[in-house]
A and B are shown apart, each in its own frame.
Chain A
């Protein structure tokens, strides 16, 4: 006898933890994703998550703290990407492809050779929201708070150096420092959320809320709060739906985001075309 109970999953602490971390991860990825999307950094995000996976596997084998191991490995990968792409013959995208995929392969090999049976590769690749520890929640919350503070305090400088780096530099903004700051926040974001969402899905969570928000507004300020709100909604909805669908939560979170993206795309597509058509006559001197 099937009966639907909307409050059923809330009885379980692991589900409540999962819901909190899914919402937080969605908000954090939504916020950082604004810069990822506007700076065309999504491939860097994709690469970093793969690099982190190698570091995480190595840390597990050597019995090292995950955050230290994966964080150091991520830094090393970033450094190597810089070195390889500076030789000019190889573009940055190819460099990211080589370095991070190698790192990912190393992770797979280590996992297969030394991994414990209890921690399946599936969980790493596709995320495991339900296996979160309170320390994971604390880590995501910590990075989220730091990100919000940085984005608020450096708001105009981050906007200026993202929109117009050359003029920002001339106007006294320390553009390399802003870029380094965003790379650092992106790396930290991936580091703390990748175990929840999964190596293969994290870059989608970085892109979906921001891309959806972008279609809904033409203002940077509005996009900056809309995107985390959407990310949170994707996280909570996906998490909740995954309970009933009995599918890994990372996958359902991304599917929820994709559905929202598609709806907004369809709606804005019609309106946007109408607006563009109106524009051609709207050029008073």
Chain B
């Protein structure tokens, strides 16, 4: 089932048309079709090595497709929040310096102007980072670190926010925190205008199941729709290459790995 990108008269922000990308000779993603409309909140799920990040890079324009095309709406403003694991935490930058670096300077002198500092501090306040502007990026909690990079992206006033694994390696509380901030940004209730969001995640239950739209991805789009529509054993097995079961809890789908029985039996035999 490959279905509904909301197809109204609204011009989509990004359209993938039969996109294939490769590094070297072997294709990493093939024949990818989907689009993102203004205001959408889309999660791309799939196992590691499935090409999720490549899709993001193609969306951002840092990887060029070898076939097909990625069309972006004229004048589309994109901001990218990288995976926290890729950040060099020993780099000497303060919170304010990180947020400021995404802004081109208007004058030849690089010092931040009064107005810039006020604007940066406003964004930091909005994300609950008040008073941390002069801290080194390492002196923050995981959730705060994620929000610093969000603040940098927000300063560019994007139409579309792109995040790579925003909850990788964070604890449960931080995951909730990040999800709530993203929901606020998507609705426009964080003092910014509403923005579309595309993120990748491998966290099916903690993150993906909460989103309005999911794309199951493994080299190509396996399924595209609401969690209820796509979090089904058939699609999940085709996405992850392993059998999975879907239970329901509190009205939400919960994915559990199949085949745990045999493993449990082997382990208990060893214990005996």
User: What is the interface of chain A, defined by CB distance below 8 A to chain B?
Assistant: 38, 152-153, 155-157, 159-160, 162-164, 166-172, 214, 217-221, 223, 279, 282-285
| Known pairs A171-B80, A218-B92 / 14 extra A-B pairs, C-beta < 8 Å | A153-B108, A155-B110, A156-B105, A159-B97, A164-B82, A168-B101, A170-B78, A172-B104, A218-B93, A219-B93, A219-B136, A283-B141, A285-B141, A285-B173
State A67–B171 Cα separation when bound (angstroms): 57
- Please tell me if B237 contacts chain A, counting CB pairs below 8 Å: no
CB neighbours (8 Å) of A153 from chain B are 108
User: What is the interface of chain B, defined by CB distance below 8 A to chain A?
Assistant: 60-62, 78-82, 86-88, 91-94, 97-98, 100-105, 108-110, 136, 139, 141, 143, 156, 173, 177
Residue of B nearest to A221 (CB): B97
Residue of B nearest to A163 (CB): B91
Which of B80, B93, B100 meets A167, CB within 8 Å?
A: B80
Do residues A219 and B97 form an inter-chain contact, with CB atoms below 8 A? yes
State A93–B116 Cα separation when bound (angstroms): 41
Residue of A nearest to B87 (CB): A164
Tell me the minimal C-beta distance from B247 to chain A in angstroms: 31
Residue of A nearest to B131 (CB): A284
CB neighbours (8 Å) of B60 from chain A are 170
Do residues A152 and B62 form an inter-chain contact, with CB atoms below 8 A? no
State A285–B78 Cα separation when bound (angstroms): 29
Do residues B101 and A219 form an inter-chain contact, with CB atoms below 8 A? no
CB neighbours (8 Å) of B94 from chain A are 218-219
Do residues B97 and A167 form an inter-chain contact, with CB atoms below 8 A? no
Which of A155, A163, A172, A279 meets B139, CB within 8 Å?
A: A279
Do residues B105 and A166 form an inter-chain contact, with CB atoms below 8 A? no
Tell me the minimal C-beta distance from A265 to chain B in angstroms: 15
CB neighbours (8 Å) of B109 from chain A are 152
Do residues A285 and B177 form an inter-chain contact, with CB atoms below 8 A? yes
CB neighbours (8 Å) of B100 from chain A are 156
Do residues A285 and B143 form an inter-chain contact, with CB atoms below 8 A? yes
22 contacts between A and B (CB under 8 A): A38-B91, A153-B108, A156-B101, A156-B105, A159-B97, A160-B102, A162-B91, A163-B88, A163-B91, A163-B101, A164-B82, A166-B62, A170-B62, A171-B79, A171-B80, A171-B102, A172-B104, A214-B92, A218-B93, A218-B136, A220-B91, A221-B110
State A107–B266 Cα separation when bound (angstroms): 67
Residue of B nearest to A222 (CB): B92
The 8 closest A-B pairs by CB, nearest first: A155-B110, A218-B136, A160-B101, A283-B141, A170-B80, A170-B60, A220-B93, A220-B92
Tell me the minimal C-beta distance from B175 to chain A in angstroms: 13
State A171–B156 Cα separation when bound (angstroms): 9
State A218–B139 Cα separation when bound (angstroms): 10
Tell me the minimal C-beta distance from B75 to chain A in angstroms: 13
Tell me the minimal C-beta distance from A135 to chain B in angstroms: 30
Tell me the minimal C-beta distance from B107 to chain A in angstroms: 10
Tell me the minimal C-beta distance from A274 to chain B in angstroms: 13
Do residues A167 and B92 form an inter-chain contact, with CB atoms below 8 A? no
Contacts A160-B102, A164-B87, A171-B80 given; does A220 touch B108 at CB 8 Å = no
Do residues A152 and B110 form an inter-chain contact, with CB atoms below 8 A? yes
Which of A156, A217, A282 meets B104, CB within 8 Å?
A: A156
Residue of B nearest to A214 (CB): B92
CB neighbours (8 Å) of B156 from chain A are 171
CB neighbours (8 Å) of A218 from chain B are 92-94, 136
State A284–B87 Cα separation when bound (angstroms): 22
CB neighbours (8 Å) of B108 from chain A are 152-153
Tell me the minimal C-beta distance from A263 to chain B in angstroms: 19
CB neighbours (8 Å) of A156 from chain B are 100-101, 103-105, 110
CB neighbours (8 Å) of A284 from chain B are 141
